[in-house]
């Protein structure tokens, strides 16, 4: 019963995502199983991640949308709020989660997090300290992205 409701809600999200065609983000279930999705985020045209494409995994809990999905970068991402294993530090995925958030809103939030990091609670201290030197930061981002 509960699983059915999770699948129903995720189906509706997928439908909306495909109908709307949000620029810069996309997501699709990994298989018949609706509880695991792969998302893609394109770096915005104005920030240090311009032209880059990042893959993320979204794993939905059984009580979704009452709990947030677990979202991780699968593509390596040099960013103050992303650690080496791809874990993301983002309030809306933790205590600020709301049942009305969707895959789309999560991906858009992460997309804007790329250009606007929260340097007060970094997971990657090197990236946080380098943020103020944008040229150097961009160079390192590009290097890490090329490495994968």
Residues in the chain: 148
- In the complex, the smallest distance separating the C-beta of residue 62 from another protein, rounded to whole angstroms, is 13
- In the complex, the smallest distance separating the C-beta of residue 54 from another protein, rounded to whole angstroms, is 22
CB closer to another protein, 32 vs 135 = 32
- Told to judge if 77 belongs to the known catalytic residues of this protein, a careful annotator would answer no
The residue count for binding another protein (CB under 8 A) is 23
Dist. CA 54–CA 107, nearest whole Å: 11
Q: Which of residues 2-41 bind another protein (CB under 8 A)?
A: 5, 8-9, 11-17, 19-20, 32
The token pair that represents 130 in the structure block = 């380098």
Which range of residues in 43-51, 63-71, 86-94, 132-140 is near another protein by CB under 8 A?
A: 63-71
Give the x-and-dash track for 88-127 against another protein (CB under 8 A).
Answer: ----------xxx-x-xx----------------------
Contacts of residues 20-29 at CB distance under 8 Å and 24 or more positions apart, as own/partner, are: 20/104, 22/104, 22/107, 22/108, 24/108, 24/111, 25/104, 25/107, 25/108, 25/111, 26/107, 27/58, 27/103, 27/104, 27/107
CB closer to another protein, 30 vs 63 = 63
Q: Computed over its alpha carbons, how large is the radius of gyration of the chain? A: 16
The answer to the question of residue 65 lying near another protein (CB under 8 A) is yes
86 φ, ψ (degrees, to nearest 5): 95, 0
- In the complex, the smallest distance separating the C-beta of residue 127 from another protein, rounded to whole angstroms, is 29
Sheet containing strand 36-42, edge to edge, reads 25-29, 36-42, 53-59, 70-73
Contacting positions for another protein (CB under 8 A): 5, 8-9, 11-17, 19-20, 32, 63, 65-67, 98-100, 102, 104-105
């Amino acid at each position: 019963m509960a699983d059915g409701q999770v699948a129903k809600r995720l189906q509706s999200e997928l439908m909306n995502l495909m109908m709307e065609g949000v620029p810069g983000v996309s997501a699709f279930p990994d298989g018949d199983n609706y509880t695991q999705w792969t998302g893609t985020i394109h770096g915005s045209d104005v920030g240090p991640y311009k032209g880059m494409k990042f893959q993320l995994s979204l794993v939905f809990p059984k009580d979704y949308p009452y709990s947030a999905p677990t979202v991780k970068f699968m593509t390596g991402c040099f960013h103050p709020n992303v650690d080496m294993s791809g874990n993301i530090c983002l309030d809306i995925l933790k205590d600020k989660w709301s049942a009305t958030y969707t895959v789309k809103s999560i991906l858009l939030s992460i997309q804007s997090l790329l250009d606007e990091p929260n340097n007060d609670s970094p997971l990657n201290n090197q990236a946080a300290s380098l943020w103020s030197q944008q040229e150097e930061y961009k160079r390192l981002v590009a290097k890490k992205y090329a490495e994968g």
